[in-house]
């Protein structure tokens, strides 16, 4: 349920109104101050709330029952775009366009530091790199784990770029203590215990869409994180499985404007895992900008042919630079600023 309050409602009145709702109906309340509205989101079992009684309060302008199962991530609860701040000078959402780039997996110090310096020069403001790799085969390279995270930290120290890396289990959380953004991969999108655990972390979470998940399921996973207390969620559309065999996955372009319409969370697009082919990354990136995405996450490798993971879809730093130049030209046409 959302209750819009009159614009002249004082902070004391908002506090008293919220407390009374929580006390009388055993619900949780979150207040969002939009550009031209004060929205009180009511979560929990709202069936017992008597609309007439609430409507009679002098501070209330309107009441709407929210049909969607996602509440905290629903734009109705928070009309303005959420902006996720990642350290100094880097943010996701709110009119800027963010480039996240780096290798699929961290391989060695030279590799990650070299790629980090290149992508930074091209305009990336976040460095990605997998230390724990969810592989289809148990015999494939699984990532360098804690050591990989350490190499990622070194690359951060050398370049100043904040880092994002994938967590696979709650037990790994202590290793991620100073990782700037914690990634939940497609395969773990519905690992609800992991999501609840990340809801208690005070750090941004990059949540990737599951391989065969609907948009609503995707948003419900974000809701798990938000409902547990962490509203710093960045969504990532990375393609879904379809009958098509000419691409690794099918980039669901329509998910971007749909999510922008129904949710206030920022959404970035990963064209690398969607396409699985280097030459498709540029056109999919352009499509993502046109559809309203807040950024891109692209796999970049100095030597794709010898990469330990996902070399087939990785692009070189030079190719990434060319795409970044096009992003610089195209993003402003679609209302985004790219510094």
Contact 201, 175 (CB under 8 A): no
The stretch near ligand PEP (CB under 6 A) out of 42-50, 168-176, 180-188, 222-230 is 180-188
Spell out where 36-97 has E strands: 38-43, 60-64, 84-85, 91-92
CA angle 180, 177, 165 (to 5 degrees): 50
Question: What is the rounded distance in angstroms from the CA atom of residue 236 to the CA atom of residue 280?
Answer: 18
Interface of this chain with ligand PEP, residues 13 to 52, rule: CB under 6 A: none
User: Is residue 301 at the binding interface for ligand PEP, with CB under 6 A as the rule?
Assistant: no
Residue 104 binds Mn ion, judged by CB under 5 A:
yes
The residues in 117-176 that bind ligand PEP, with binding defined as CB under 6 A, are 130, 134, 166
> Binding Mn ion by CB under 5 A: which of 129, 296, 310, 324?
310
The smaller minimum CB distance to ligand PEP, of residues 3 and 168, is found at 168
State the Rg of the chain over Cα: 21
CB under 5 A: which stretch of 188-196, 278-286, 306-314, 328-336 binds Mn ion?
306-314
**Binding to ligand PEP by residue 307, rule CB under 6 A?**
no
Q: Is 76 in the site for ligand PEP (CB under 6 A)?
A: no
Closest Cα partner for 161 from 144, 180, 142? 180
Name which of 105 and 219 has its Cβ closer to Mn ion: 105
208 binds, among Mn ion, ligand PEP, none (CB under 5 to 8 A by kind): ligand PEP
**For residue 280, which of 301, 256, 299 has the smallest C-alpha distance?**
299
Establish if 208 lies at the interface with ligand PEP (CB under 6 A): yes
Strand intervals (E) in 129-261? 163-167, 181-184, 205-208, 233-237
What is the number of residues in the chain? 339
Contacts with ligand PEP by CB under 6 A lie at 104, 130, 134, 166, 185-187, 208, 238, 273
Contacts with Mn ion by CB under 5 A lie at 104, 310
């Amino acid at each position: 349920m959302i209750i819009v309050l009159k614009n002249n409602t004082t902070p004391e009145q908002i506090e008293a109104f919220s407390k009374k709702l929580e006390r009388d109906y055993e619900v949780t309340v979150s207040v969002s101050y939009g550009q031209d509205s004060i929205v009180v989101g009511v979560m929990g079992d709202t069936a017992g709330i008597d609309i007439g009684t609430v409507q009679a309060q002098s501070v209330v302008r309107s009441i709407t029952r929210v049909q969607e199962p996602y509440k905290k991530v629903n734009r109705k609860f928070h009309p303005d775009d959420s902006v996720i701040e990642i350290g100094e000078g880097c943010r996701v959402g709110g009119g800027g366009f963010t480039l996240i780039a780096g290798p699929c997996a961290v391989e060695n110090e030279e590799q990650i530091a070299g790629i980090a310096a290149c992508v930074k020069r091209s305009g990336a403001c976040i460095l990605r790199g997998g230390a724990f790799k969810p592989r289809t085969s148990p015999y494939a390279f699984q990532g360098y784990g804690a050591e990989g995270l350490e190499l990622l930290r070194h690359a951060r120290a050398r370049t100043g770029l904040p880092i994002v890396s994938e967590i696979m289990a709650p037990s790994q959380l202590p290793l991620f203590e100073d990782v700037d953004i914690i990634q939940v991969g497609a395969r773990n999108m519905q690992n609800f215990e992991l999501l609840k655990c990340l809801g208690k972390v005070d750090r941004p979470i990059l949540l990737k869409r599951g391989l065969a998940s609907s948009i609503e399921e995707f948003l419900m996973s974000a809701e798990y994180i938000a409902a547990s207390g962490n509203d710093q969620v960045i969504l990532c559309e990375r393609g879904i499985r379809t009958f098509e065999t000419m691409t690794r996955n099918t980039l669901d372009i329509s998910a971007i404007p749909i999510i922008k319409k129904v949710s206030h969370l920022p959404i970035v697009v990963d064209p690398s895992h969607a396409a699985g082919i280097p030459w498709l990354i540029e056109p999919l990136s352009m499509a993502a900008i046109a559809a309203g995405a807040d950024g891109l996450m692209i796999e970049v490798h100095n030597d794709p042919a010898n990469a330990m993971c996902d070399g087939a879809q990785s692009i070189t730093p030079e190719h990434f630079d060319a795409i970044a130049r096009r992003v610089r030209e195209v993003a402003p046409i679609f209302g985004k600023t790219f510094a």
